[in-house]
Amino acid sequence: MSLIVKVIIPAFNEQNGVGNVIRDIPGDVVDEIIVVNNASTDETERVAREAGATVLKEEVKGYGRACLKGMEYVRSSVDKADIIVFIDADYSDYPQEMTDLIRPIQENGMDLVIGSRALGNLEKGSMTPQQIFGNWLATRLLKLLYGIKFTDLGPFRAIRYDRLMAIGMEDKTYGWTVEMQLKAAKNGLKCTEVPVSYRKRIGFSKISGTVKGTIMAGYKIIWTIFKYL
């Protein structure tokens, strides 16, 4: 029996990236692609719909809020899902690699698979030095405080649907990725990482390429790590 796989893509003004992301997702392994249009003022919604995705609207901005909206949609759907994959809309990740992300769940009984850019092929300039440092620091703290080994907080990740629903995700913004990883640790989920490639995004950076975004995200990530101790 093949597992039902649904993809959730949070998107805020990603009209030039989102269509490429959708087109490169391997169609034979994925049952539905859900784009959560997060208050975009550009053509994100039209582009995503034309590329064949289900498009939801989330008017209040926030990375985690958009992801939660996508989860709520899956929960209310008839067939639900067995695996949820999260991927950004900016075409930094390689959607083709989704197959590698899903495999450890399908074949090896894993619950959460993080696509690690630290282990993979990083295009020069695709991550800022502060982003690389921040991820290093955050993953050190996860090891120290929660006893779980990760090398990245990458946005490209696959998780078993029932586990995702059970760990009680709540962060509405930048703490989302680290929250999932530390709650996976706390709840004894079987976690692993696979190397993923990463390239420069299409379109404008919202987080790591801006001073405000970097400070806010860095602060929120560290705050989240201590919040759940």
Ligand X SMILES: Nc1nc2c(ncn2[C@@H]2O[C@H](COP(=O)(O)OP(=O)(O)OP(=O)(O)O)[C@@H](O)[C@H]2O)c(=O)[nH]1
CA–CA distance, 121 with 117 (Å, rounded to integer): 7
3-state secondary structure of 101: helix
Structure tokens at 152: 């990245």
92 binds Mg ion (CB under 5 A): yes
Instruction: Quote the Cα angle for 150-153-159, to 5°.
Output: 80
Nearer to ligand X, 133 or 166 (CB): 133
CA–CA distance, 95 with 38 (Å, rounded to integer): 20
CA–CA distance, 229 with 224 (Å, rounded to integer): 9
Nearer to Mg ion, 166 or 215 (CB): 215
Site string for ligand X, 181-220 (x = CB under 6 A): --------------------x---xxxxx-----------
Amino acid at 102: I
Considering CB distances under 5 to 8 angstroms, the limit depending on partner class, which of Mg ion, ligand X, none binds residue 97? none
> How many residues belong to the site for ligand X (CB under 6 A)?
19
What is the footprint of ligand X within residues 58-117 (CB under 6 A)?
A: 61-63, 66, 88-90, 92
How far apart are CB 49 and ligand X at their closest, in Å?
16
Considering CB distances under 5 to 8 angstroms, the limit depending on partner class, which of ligand X, Mg ion, none binds residue 209? ligand X
38 binds Mg ion (CB under 5 A): no
